[in-house]
Amino acid sequence: MAEAVVSIVVGTLADFIIQEAKHFCRVRDQVELAQTELQMMQGFLKDADKRQQDDETVRIWVAKVRDAAYDMEDAIEIFSFKVSSKTRRLACILIKGKGVHKIVAEIEKITTRISSLRLSLQTYNIREIRESRDGATSSYQRQQQLRRTYSHIIERDVVGLQDNIKELVTHLVNDENCHKVVSIWGMGGLGKTTLAKQVYYQSEVRRHFSCFAWVCISHRFQVREVWEGILIKLISATNEQREEIGRMREDEIAKKLYLILQERTCLVVLDDIWSIETWDSLKAGFPHEKTMSKILLTTRNKAVALHADRKGFLHQPRPLNDSESWQLFEIIAIFGREETNPEIHSKMKELGKKMLLHCAGLPLAISALAGLLARKDTIDEWNAVHKNVFAYIRRGKGHEQEYAGASWVLALSYDDLPYHLKPCFLYLGHFPEDFEIPVKLLTQLWMAEGLISLGQQGQSFIGSLEDIGYSYLSELVERCVVQIGERGSIRKIKTCRIHDLMRDLCLLKTEEENFLQIVNFSHKKEAMYPSASSTVSISKVRRLAIHLDDKADRLVPPRDERNGHLRSLLYFTPRNWMPRNQRLVQSVFKVFKLLRVLRFENMCTEVELPSDIGNMVHLRFLSLRRCHIKRLPLSMGNLKSMQTLDLRFRQLDIVPNVLWKMEQLRHLYLPLYYRASGKLRLDTLHYLQTLLHVDNSHLNDITELTNLKKLAVQVSSPLKNLEKVLTSTSSTLERIRSLYVHNVVGIHSYAEVSQIVSKCHNIYKLDLNGPTVELPKDLQGYPNLTKLWLCRCFLKENQMSVLEKLPNLRNLYLQSGTFEDNVKTLVCSKGGFLHLEFLSLSYMDEIDGWTVEEGAMPSLCQLHISRCRGLTTFPDGLRYNSSLKKLSITRMPRTFYSKLQEGGEDFYKIQHVPSLVFGEACD
C-alpha cells in the first residue's frame, strides 16, 4: 500500500510542477528533486510491503516512508492553496520572498528524510521489484475473459445447494406447519445469503407467495427504515404512497406492516440478523399468528434463530464436500484451461486440490482462493501461492472464532492484489455495511483521489480514466473480493457490493495503513473506527467517512474539526436529512481547505453555500445531490481541479456563469430546473463526458465537447436555428451513448426532439419525456439502441410498429401519455420485439386493450404492469411465451387481479410463469 501512496504523491508533484511551479523556479527545482527520490523508492516499496507482515522493523520503515510522502503532499498543496487564494500577480509578489524560502526549506527537509530512508534500505535487505506496466492494464485487456467467467455465475451460486434449497422451500410453502420463521444459521462465509437468494427466487416460492421483500440488517440498522423498506416493497409503493409512509409515525408503520402481513401471503427475508436484541426491536411489525406470511432470516447466531420462533424451522447449511469444493473452484479458476495446455491443467488441478484442503468447505474461502488463482497462468505462480498458504494459515491463528476457515484466504487475496488495486479495494471501506455501490460513483471517487492514472498504462492504451476504473472493478470482481450487484441493459456492472467478512478485512487493513477513519454519529452515541485508543494517528487521517442517522447533532468529531490533512470527506445520511444547525453545514466548506472529495447529500433544509467554498481549490469531486440550495456562489469558479460536480437537486434559482473555468470537469450534473445568470458557457470543458439537464439554448457549446458520452437536454424554448446548430455539433452528437430529451415547451417543439435524436445514431439508451409525436424515421437503423424510456410523448398510433422493429432493443419502459389519447389499444405483432427482454407499462390509464400476437416478444423475460387502470384483460398471446420468467403486477384494478389469481378466468394465460408478484390493488 505504501507504494500506492507514493505513486499518488509522485503524481501530485508532477501536476504541481506543470501547473504551479513554473512561476517559482526555486520551488520547482526542490520539488523535482523530491519527485526523483520518491520515484527511486517505489520499486523497493513493493518488496517492503510484502515483508512488513512478518518483520516489525520493516513495517515501521514503511510507515515512515508513507508519512514522509504525505508530509510532502501537504507541503505542496498548502503552498498551492496559498497561491490560488490570491491573484497570480499578487501571489508572485507576496510569496517570492519569505514564503518561497519557507516552502523550499520545508520541502528540502522532507526530501532529506526520504533520502535517508532510501539509504537505509540495505539495513533491512529490501530489494527492488520492477513491475511490468502491462500489470496495470491487464484487467482492461481481459474483458473478453471476464465474460467467460460471468456466464458461469448461476452455476457457481448453486454448487452444493440443491438439497438445502429443496428442504427450505418445502418448509416455506407448507401452510399446514406452524413455522412462521424459517432460519438459516451458520458461520460467516458458509453461503447463507447465497442460499437465501436461491430460495427467494425459486418458482415454487414465487407462485406460493403474493408479495416479497428483502432487507439487509446492518449493525447500524434503524427500526423505522427497516419497517419502511419492507412495507414499500410489499405494496410496491408509488411515489405518493412513499410520501404518505414517510409522514407516518413509527408505530403507525409497524401497525400497517403487521396488517399487510396478516391479510396477504408474504415472504420477508431479513438477511444477517446479529443479535436477539435486533429481532426484539423489529418483531412488533411481524404477526406470529393468524397469518399465511413467512419470515426467512439468516444469522450467525443460533440463539437468534431459536428466539425468533421456538416452533420455527432451523437450517444449518453444511460445508461443501470435497467434490463440491472442487466443482466450485474449477468453475472459477480452471475452466477452459484444459483446452490450451493439458499438462499445465493437470498440475494446476493437483495444486488446487492441495490448497482446497485448507478452505474447510467454505464457499467464500473457495471463491476467494479460486479468484486469486484465476489470473495466474503459470505453474510457478501457482506454486508460489501454494507455498504462501501455510504462512497465511499461521497468521490466521487466533481469529478462528471470528472468521473460521476463511481468514487466511481473505488475507492472501488482499496481499495478492496488484499495487494499483489495493487502495481501490480499501476505498470500499467508506461505504456502510450492505451498501449497494454505484459503479459510476465509485470510479469518480477513485479518479478524484488519484487512484486511477493514465500514466500507469502502456503506450498502446487508448481508453479513458473511466475505462481504467471499470477495468479495476472488473478485476476485483474476477478475483472474488467484490460482488456484482446489478447489471445494466448492455450487461455492464451497474452496482457492486462487498461481503461482510471481506468488509471486515477491508476495515482492518484501512486501520493498519492509516487509510481511512469511519465515524458513526447518532443521537445516542458516537462510534469511531479505528477507535480513539488506536495507535493510528487520528490527527493525520486523510479520509473520513461519516455515517449519520436522522437525529445526529454534529457533523465532524471534535478531534477532526481542525484537521488540516483531510483529503476526503464522505457523508452517508438518511433521505430527507435535516441538519440541526445551518452553521454546522457551512463550517464544512470553511475548515477543510485541502479536500479533494466531498459528498454531502440528502439535506432537505435550505442551506446557503458560503463563498469560502471557492478556497477549496484542490476539490475534484463535489456531490450536493438532493440538497436544498437556492444559489451557487460566484467563487465556485475557482474550483479549477473539479472533475465531478453533482448538483442534482430539484431546483436552483441561479447557476452563475463560472462553470467554464472548471476545465478539468468530466461529469456535470445540473439541477432539473435552474436559471443561468446570462449565457452559461460550456465550450471550454473539453474533457466532459456527462452533461445532464443542459438547456437547449446552450447546444452551440456542445461542438467543443468532443468527449461527451451522456447528454440530457431540456427543450425549454423553440430554437430558430436548431438545424444549423445540430449540423455544427454533429460530430459530437455521433459520440453520444446515452441521450435524454425533456420537452418542456410542449407540442409546438416536438419536431426539435426528433431532430436532436436523429443526430445521435450511436446511442445505447434513449429517454424521451414530453411531446414527440413521431420518432425519427431512421431510428430502426440505430444499431446499438438497447434501452428506451417513453413518457408523455403522445406518439401516433403507427409508432408502435416503429418500436417493435428496433433490432437490438432489450429494455422498454412505456409510461403515462406515451401515445396520444385516441390510441386505446396496444398491438404487439408477430415477429415484433425480437430481442426485448424487459417490458414495463405504467400509468397508462388511457389504454383499455392490449393484443399480443403469437410469436411476438419471443425473448421477453420480465413484464411489469402498474397503474394501467383501463386495462381489463391480460393479453391472451402471452400464454404462448415460454421465455417469460417473472410477471409483476401492482396498483391494478381488483377485477384484473381476480382474473389472474389461481382459479380465475385468465389464470391459464400466466400459469407457466415461474415468478408471479402481485402488489397492492387499486379501486
C-alpha 474/C-alpha 452 separation (Å) is 14
What mean pLDDT, rounded, does the chain reach? 84
In a domain, 259, yes or no: yes
Residue 752, exposed/middle/buried by CB under 10 A (0-12, 13-18, 19+)?
buried
Q: How many domains does the chain have?
A: 3
Kindly report the three-state secondary structure assignment for every residue of 865-915: EECCCCCCCCCHHHHHCCCCCEEEEECCEHHHHHHHCCCCCCHHHCCCCCE
Question: 344 with 437, same domain?
Answer: yes
Question: 410 with 261, same domain?
Answer: no
**Which comes out higher in pLDDT, residue 227 or 520?**
227
What pLDDT, on the 0 to 100 scale, is given for residue 559? 67
Lowest mean pLDDT: which of 123-127, 152-156, 332-336?
152-156
In a domain, 274, yes or no: yes
What pLDDT, on the 0 to 100 scale, is given for residue 9? 78
Domain that holds residue 28: 2-124
Lowest mean pLDDT: which of 84-93, 705-714, 899-908?
84-93
In a domain, 482, yes or no: yes
**What is residue 624's DSSP assignment?**
-
pTM (predicted TM-score)? 0.85
What pLDDT, on the 0 to 100 scale, is given for residue 13? 75
Question: By the 8 A CB rule, do 692 and 652 touch?
Answer: no
pLDDT digits (tens, 9 = 90+) for 620-649: 999 999 888 888 999 999 999 999 999 998
C-alpha 789/C-alpha 457 separation (Å) is 37
pLDDT digits (tens, 9 = 90+) for 154-171: 445 678 889 999 999 999
C-alpha 611/C-alpha 26 separation (Å) is 33
Residue 178, exposed/middle/buried by CB under 10 A (0-12, 13-18, 19+)?
exposed
Question: 11 with 31, same domain?
Answer: yes
In a domain, 692, yes or no: no
In a domain, 328, yes or no: yes
Q: How far separated are the first and last CA of the chain, in Å rounded?
A: 60
In a domain, 183, yes or no: yes
Question: 60 with 108, same domain?
Answer: yes
For the cut 60, the answer to whether the pLDDT of residue 356 exceeds it is yes
For the four alpha carbons of 298, 301, 307 and 313, in that order, the dihedral sign comes to positive
For the cut 90, the answer to whether the pLDDT of residue 776 exceeds it is no
C-alpha 66/C-alpha 94 separation (Å) is 32
pLDDT digits (tens, 9 = 90+) for 188-225: 888 999 999 999 988 899 888 988 999 999 877 889 99
Question: By the 8 A CB rule, do 466 and 474 touch?
Answer: no
Question: 299 with 369, same domain?
Answer: no
Confidence of residue 536 (pLDDT cuts 50, 70, 90): very low
For the cut 70, the answer to whether the pLDDT of residue 428 exceeds it is yes
Question: 242 with 370, same domain?
Answer: no
Lowest mean pLDDT: which of 98-107, 264-273, 704-713, 803-812?
98-107
CA distances 35 to 82, 110, 117, 182, Å, are 21, 11, 15, 60
Q: Taking the CB of residue 815, how many other CB atoms lie within 10 A of it?
A: 18
Nearest by Cα to 420 from 392, 387, 390, 446:
446
Question: 186 with 299, same domain?
Answer: yes
**What is residue 916's DSSP assignment?**
E
For the cut 70, the answer to whether the pLDDT of residue 87 exceeds it is no
For the cut 70, the answer to whether the pLDDT of residue 128 exceeds it is no
Question: By the 8 A CB rule, do 857 and 836 touch?
Answer: yes
Residue with cell 520499486: 43
**Which comes out higher in pLDDT, residue 329 or 85?**
329
In a domain, 731, yes or no: no
Question: 439 with 337, same domain?
Answer: yes
Question: 452 with 384, same domain?
Answer: yes
Question: 309 with 353, same domain?
Answer: no
pLDDT digits (tens, 9 = 90+) for 72-82: 888 888 887 77
Question: By the 8 A CB rule, do 536 and 560 touch?
Answer: no
Question: 303 with 336, same domain?
Answer: no
Question: 50 with 183, same domain?
Answer: no
